[in-house]
Amino acid sequence: MTTPETTPQTPEPLAPMGSIHREKTPADELAVSYFHERLTLDPSEATFHGFPGHETEYPDFGPAGREAAAELVRRTLARLDRVEPRDDVDRVTLHALRNDLELQRDLHDANLDVSVVNNIESPVQGIRQVLDAMPRETEQDWRHIAGRMANVPAALTQYREGLDEAVSLNRPPSAPQIVEASQQAEQYASDEGFFATLAADPSAPEDLREELSRTADAARRAYRDIARTLREDFAPVARPSDACGLEDYRLHLASFLGARREPREIYDWAVERLIALDSEQRDVADRIQPGASIQEAMAALNADPARQLHSPEELQAWMQQLSDTALDALADTQFEITEPMRTLECRIAPTQDGIIYYTPPSADFSRPGRMWWSVPEGVSQHNTWEETTTVYHEGIPGHHLQCATALANAGELNEWRRMGIWVSGHGEGWALYAERLMDELGFLDDPGDRMGMLDSQRLRTIRVIFDVGFHCGFEIPEALGDMLGGARAGEVWTPEDGWKFLRHNVAMAESTLRFEWLRYMGWPGQAPSYRVGLQMWLDAREQAMAREGEDFDLKRFHSRALRLGSVGLDTLTYALAL
């Protein structure tokens, strides 16, 4: 597509990633220096990236750790002003680094970087979750695990100090998130919980079992203590509501998008998108069962035995097979996929909190990319029509392709560009774009699978409306009519309105939906990054088509964009226009 204002430009061909050997520049040196200083402050991040030397350590979750991170940001911004770019790669690096650092600075100045409590992305989960990324193959690996478990009590003590600071700065946690996080902490500490199970792993060396048991018991006691502390010490001073207000929300949203956008405009746009999506789903419902409503079509899909999985083992085997099939079909035809990128492991997570997530490969690909599916207690059936698009989102061509491409582009990108930056709007926007793309490429021609993809898009649009509206205090839109599901049109959003809205619009087990509802309220600005990020990816593609005219090539567009790494969305727009 070509607009009257745009003269098509013939794009330069891309060299294969393995053939690129670019000389490092002062801009690269600054970004890498910042990255490694940050890894020193955050040993958990070093573990996730596969950097040795910090295997038993945790970040400082207290006030000193917060101030050290802020000082690193200030120092790097000052150095950034003295660096001149040598090429377009440098221009993107400096643009991305400045954007990231300035957002971190602004969050710190507003005291929005204090320790938090929520049900998905707080130290309650993170202190445990880093153990998932640690190898378990050699005796030394298990010694590192024991060493890190031994440091769990100190990490949680610092977290307590960080929460005290948050209260002193009038940024206390909320009551609903305290209840949820304390329950998660108790679950991790239980006799059948994560730490007890890890200590009893049959692959652990026999001579380390006593040490593993001792350090796991210490970690369990510490988690029971933090659960009690949350309930007894912080619940009395907690905020009654999660709503953060318009000004704070602007900063939260910008940090997740890597772009500054006006919440009101996003809110109104999402309402329009939901109305359009509802129409799309009605058309698909009629294909599934003529004359059926969306809910009736979904009920028919749920009742189809051919679309059911009945155990975690069946779920794991199905997602691995689906992932492998997609990788084989897309490699070399639609995407640039090098040999190290071809391994993607699908696993059942060692927890029951309902999270589905992806962990990227280590820097050298010795640890492969992994998709994790946490099956909530009591959930015994999964319906494949709902979950097909989730596998594409987390794996190929979603997060795995995105993260692995950046890692594989070592000849062009510095370490910070490859590993040290993750912007939710870019990352989750790409993964949601990947779902839509699989429909475009013919992988979702089955009407059930397509209904699942549209339902995924509907969920992401629904939560834009609730997340923005709830946190910013906007009125519930009358234009949605019956789609509100009992939420009170014209009133300001409450948690109860959000729950009714979600239950009416989202095909999801109630326990999982409850987790999602709490997530949106406790993590302001993150949920919109999916759907807003998708739209910005679609806009970037349209702009590239306008620039290149008949020379536009979809595979080339994807390769060029993914080679950039997970930059902020403003940087993505800037980089693709160079």
Comparing 10 with 69, which gets the higher pLDDT? 69
Taking alpha carbons only, the member of 358, 385, 403, 416 closest to residue 294 is: 385
408, 340 contact by CB (below 8 A): yes
Q: Is the pLDDT reported for residue 344 higher than 80?
A: yes
Residues for the chain: how many in total?
578
Strand partners, 373: 348, 356
Q: Work out the mean pLDDT of the chain and round it to a whole number.
A: 94
pLDDT, residue 13, reads: 75
Mind listing the pLDDT tens digit for each residue in 196-237?
A: 999 999 999 999 999 999 999 999 999 999 999 999 999 999
Contacts of 137 (CB under 8 A, 6+ apart): none
Determine the Cα–Cα distance for residues 471 and 469; give it in Å rounded to an integer: 6
Give the Å distances, CA to CA, from 525 to 14, 252, 500, 519.
35, 5, 20, 11
- B/e letters for 237-269, b = 16+ CB within 10 Å, e = fewer, are ebbeebbbeeebbbbbbbbbbbbbbebeebbbb
Determine the Cα–Cα distance for residues 517 and 526; give it in Å rounded to an integer: 13
Cis peptide, bond prior to residue 202, ω within 30 of zero: no
Q: Is 202 exposed, middle or buried (0-12, 13-18, 19+ CB in 10 A)?
A: exposed
Residue 247 φ/ψ, nearest 5 degrees: -65, -45
379, 512 contact by CB (below 8 A): yes
169-176 mean pLDDT: 96
142-157 mean pLDDT: 98
Q: Is the pLDDT reported for residue 3 higher than 70?
A: no
Task: Give 49's pLDDT tier (boundaries 50, 70, 90).
Answer: confident
Determine the Cα–Cα distance for residues 416 and 34; give it in Å rounded to an integer: 8
pLDDT, residue 508, reads: 79
| Residue matched to tokens 């009358």 | 478
Given CA atoms 179, 122, 113, 144 in this order, what sign does their dihedral have?
A: positive
Taking alpha carbons only, the member of 531, 361, 355, 540 closest to residue 460 is: 531
| Helix pair angle (209-229, 139-150), 10° resolution | 30
Kindly state the DSSP code that residue 13 receives in the 8-state scheme: P
Q: Is the pLDDT reported for residue 4 higher than 50?
A: no
Q: Is 380 exposed, middle or buried (0-12, 13-18, 19+ CB in 10 A)?
A: exposed
Domain ranges of the chain: 26-84+115-170+175-238
Taking alpha carbons only, the member of 345, 343, 344, 348 closest to residue 313 is: 348
Q: Is the pLDDT reported for residue 377 higher than 90?
A: no
Return the structure tokens found at 212: 């593993």
Q: Is 106 exposed, middle or buried (0-12, 13-18, 19+ CB in 10 A)?
A: middle
Contacts of 89 (CB under 8 A, 6+ apart): 22, 25, 412, 413
Return the structure tokens found at 20: 């690129």
**Considering the entire predicted model, what is its pTM?**
0.89
Residue 57 φ/ψ, nearest 5 degrees: -100, 165
Q: Which of 55-64, 127-136, 319-328, 378-387 has the lowest mean pLDDT?
A: 378-387
Kindly state the DSSP code that residue 58 receives in the 8-state scheme: -
pLDDT, residue 363, reads: 82
Q: Which of 29-38, 71-80, 231-240, 326-335 has the lowest mean pLDDT?
A: 326-335
Mind listing the pLDDT tens digit for each residue in 486-533?
A: 999 999 999 999 999 999 998 777 888 898 999 999 999 999 999 999
Mind listing the pLDDT tens digit for each residue in 544-565?
A: 999 999 999 999 999 999 999 9
pLDDT, residue 507, reads: 78
Q: What sections of 417-568 are H helices per DSSP? A: 424-440, 447-472, 495-505, 510-522, 528-548, 554-562
Determine the Cα–Cα distance for residues 209 and 241; give it in Å rounded to an integer: 44
Mind listing the pLDDT tens digit for each residue in 30-44?
A: 999 999 999 999 999
Q: Is the pLDDT reported for residue 303 higher than 50?
A: yes
Return the structure tokens found at 32: 């890498």
pLDDT, residue 355, reads: 78
Return the structure tokens found at 16: 């294969």
Strand partners, 228: none
Task: Give 1's pLDDT tier (boundaries 50, 70, 90).
Answer: very low
Determine the Cα–Cα distance for residues 392 and 433; give it in Å rounded to an integer: 10
pLDDT, residue 506, reads: 87
Taking alpha carbons only, the member of 8, 2, 7 closest to residue 548 is: 8
pLDDT, residue 8, reads: 65
Mind listing the pLDDT tens digit for each residue in 453-491?
A: 999 999 999 999 999 999 999 999 999 999 999 999 999
